[in-house]
């Protein structure tokens, strides 16, 4: 069974610290988050224990200290959380999600151009898959 990569606000903030540092103690995480909001070390320690049960972090002992490290990547978490959001709010309809973002968010001309490039690239990849049934890179044209 895959661990849940859905993270709350504090959990995601903790993961950002771990992704940027590679590993950190409770005190190091607390200090890194101090600019956002002061939190008790016990709050951070409790959250890290919960995150370890989810399978998104692991720890090693360094003397009496636990040093935590991420066990999932930021893209993995993004994929899971966006998929859950899409399922929950848009019944899995990716087009509805993108449509909502385009209608509700301020997007400048450069971002529109980047979106067009992404759509064109994905369309070309889909066409290549449809042409021979293989995923790009599976035909030896990586």
Which tens digits make up the pLDDT trace of 35-82? 888 899 999 999 999 999 999 999 999 999 999 999 999 999 999 999
User: What is the tens place of the pLDDT at every residue in 90-99?
Assistant: 999 999 999 9
CA-based torsion, 103, 105, 110, 113: positive or negative: negative
CB 18 within 8 A of CB 74: no
Sheet holding 57-62, edge to edge: 24-25, 65-70, 57-62
78 contact partners, CB below 8 Å, separation of at least 6:
none
Tokens of residue 90, six digits = 């848009």
pLDDT tens per residue, range 98-135: 999 989 989 899 999 999 999 999 999 988 877 766 55
How far apart (Å, rounded) are the C-alpha atoms in residues 14 and 25? 11
- C-alpha–C-alpha distance, residues 98 and 100, integer Å: 5
CA 33 remoteness from chain centre = 18
> What's this model's pTM, rounded to 2 decimal places?
0.75
């Amino acid at each position: 069974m895959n661990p849940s990569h859905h993270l709350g606000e504090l959990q995601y903030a903790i993961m950002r610290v771990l992704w940027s540092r590679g590993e950190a103690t409770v005190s190091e995480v607390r200090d890194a988050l101090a600019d956002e909001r002061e939190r008790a070390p016990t709050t951070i320690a409790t959250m890290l224990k919960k995150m370890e049960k989810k399978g998104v972090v692991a720890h090693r002992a360094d003397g009496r200290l636990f040093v935590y490290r991420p066990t999932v990547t930021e893209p993995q978490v993004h994929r899971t959380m966006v998929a859950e959001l899409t399922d929950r709010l848009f019944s899995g309809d990716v087009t509805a999600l993108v449509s909502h973002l385009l209608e509700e968010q301020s997007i400048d001309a450069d971002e529109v151009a980047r979106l067009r490039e992404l759509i064109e690239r994905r369309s070309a990849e889909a066409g290549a898959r449809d042409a021979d049934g293989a995923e790009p890179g599976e035909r030896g044209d990586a």
